[in-house]
Each structure stands twice: as C-alpha cells, then as structure tokens.
Amino acid sequence: MTTRRDIALGLPAAALLAALPGMASAQETQPAPPVAPPAAGDDTFTEDEVVQAAEDFLDTAAGSVAAVIARVFREQGRPVGYITGREGSGAWLVGLRYGKGLMFLKSGERTEVNWQGPSFGFDFGGNASKVFTLIYGMTSAEQIYKRYPGVDGSAYVIGGLGVNYQAADGVTLAPIRAGVGLRAGASVGYLNYTRTRHILPF
C-alpha cells in the first residue's frame, strides 16, 4: 500500500532525475557505441573492449577506469554485456535512486532499461552521475527485469570510481559510478530494473 511517506520520498528523487540534462531520451544522451559482430562461439566482451567503452562513456581518467575494470575482471571474468546510463539519487536518512540507460549484450541485443531502488544509511542531499554496469551470467535481455540486491562487502572505491556487486538468480551486475555518484553507491539496498520508469521504487 502506498503511503504518504512513500510519496514524500519518491517525488523529490523522481523530480531530481527528471531534471537531469538529457535524461528525456536515452537514445539521445547515450549514443550506441559501435559493436562488432561477435565471432563464432564468442559471447563475452574482452577487457580491452570494456575499458574502451567505459572510458568513452564515463569520460574520466583512463588509468582509474582500467584499474577498476581490471579488478572486476579478476573477480568476475569477462562480461556478457554492459549498461550505459545516468542516474539521480536523493536522501533524507533513507535514500532513493532512479536511473535510465541502454543495455548492450555481446549477442547484439540492445534494450532500454530503467532502475529505481532505496538506499539505507544516514545520508542527506542529492546528486547525479553516470553509471557503467558490467553484466555477468545473463543469457537473455529479459533477465534484467527484476530486483537485484546488493552483495554485502562487495563495495570498493578506486581512483574516484566506486563499484559494488548486485546479484539475483545467477546474474551478477557490477555498477561503476563516477565522481559524485559515489555518495550513496555503496549503501544501495537493492535496485529494481524495469521496462518503464516507476515513481515508487519499492
């Protein structure tokens, strides 16, 4: 049941997301990077491909991006896809996070995706950030549409970039947030990935 408290929390964060420049159209703000046809039997991205895509999208220090991705590759291996997106978050003790982006799978599938969810922790304020999310264990784009809880103890920061793992039903996501997006990046309880934007994240 939606309560006045839910609406009070959801509307400011939703308004923050709506105010982000360029968020009105994922197709406009996040042009699709060129994806070469996969070689026979190759359904994952190489580290060089991921580093190049992340550097182009996040527009941050190359060394930092490469270091973060190298660690994720050591821990998770080669991803089957990634999401490029933008998100806004706001918090007053309990925080909310809203985002929108495009998902690219090595198989060639490209899908628009939205996400929203609560964050827990004593935090105040709001921010906006770019997010580059690596995807593991996915065999179909439809698998993205569910709730992904955060993995305890998986959050870390390298060179101004933050990473934390989310996992559900054999699929693991590794969102990499740049700069101001770190504020609540490590405290997200879960993110719900959906086809359309939801005002209430629960």
Which two three-digit tokens encode residue 129? 């950030």
147 versus 125: which is more confidently predicted?
147
Q: Which residues pair with 166 in a beta bridge?
A: 150, 173
Question: pLDDT tens, 27-74?
Answer: 333 444 444 344 444 799 999 999 999 999 988 766 889 999 999 999
User: Can you tell me the mean pLDDT for 94-110?
Assistant: 90
Q: Average pLDDT, whole number, for the chain?
A: 76
User: Can you tell me the mean pLDDT for 189-195?
Assistant: 90
Task: Tell me the pTM.
Answer: 0.74
Most confident of 88-92, 101-105, 155-159, 184-188: 101-105
* Interacting residues of 13 by C-beta distance below 8 A, sequence separation 6+: 88, 89, 90, 95, 96, 97, 98, 126
**Residue owning tokens 């839910």:** 6
* Interacting residues of 86 by C-beta distance below 8 A, sequence separation 6+: 20, 22, 23, 29, 30, 99, 100, 101, 128, 129, 130, 131
Q: Which residue from 120, 130, 114, 124 is spatially nearest to 180, judged by alpha carbons?
A: 130
